[in-house]
Amino acid sequence: MWKRWGSSLLLLVLIAAGLSLFMPKDAVGEGIHADSAKAAKAETAATFTAYIHSIKQVNGEVRMTVDPIGWYQGEAANVIFKQEDPEGYAELGGTPDDYYIVNKSEENIIYVVKSDAAVLMQLYERDGDGENADIQPDEALSLSQFTNVFNKGGLIDPADFPYHITVQDGKVVKIVQQYIP
What is the number of alpha carbons within 13 Å of residue 16 lying toward its C-beta? 15
Place 155 in a pLDDT band, splitting at 50, 70 and 90: confident
Q: Could you tell me the pTM of the whole model? A: 0.77
9 membership: H or E segment, kind and range: helix 2-18
Mean pLDDT of 120-124: 94
**Mean pLDDT over each residue of the chain, to the nearest integer:** 81
Q: Do 45 and 166 touch, CB atoms closer than 8 A?
A: yes
| Cα 160 from chain centroid (whole Å) | 7
pLDDT of residue 43: 56
Per mean pLDDT, which range of 13-17, 155-159, 167-171 is the poorest? 13-17
Other beta carbons less than 10 A from residue 181's beta carbon: 15
Mean pLDDT of 25-41: 48
Residue 122, helix vs strand vs coil: coil
Q: Which residue has the higher pLDDT, 17 or 86?
A: 86
Place 105 in a pLDDT band, splitting at 50, 70 and 90: confident
Mean pLDDT of 98-119: 95
Place 126 in a pLDDT band, splitting at 50, 70 and 90: confident
pLDDT of residue 160: 95
Q: Which residue has the higher pLDDT, 88 or 132?
A: 88
Other beta carbons less than 10 A from residue 109's beta carbon: 19
Can you list the positions of beta strands (E) in the chain? 45-58, 61-68, 70-73, 99-102, 109-121, 139-141, 162-168, 171-177
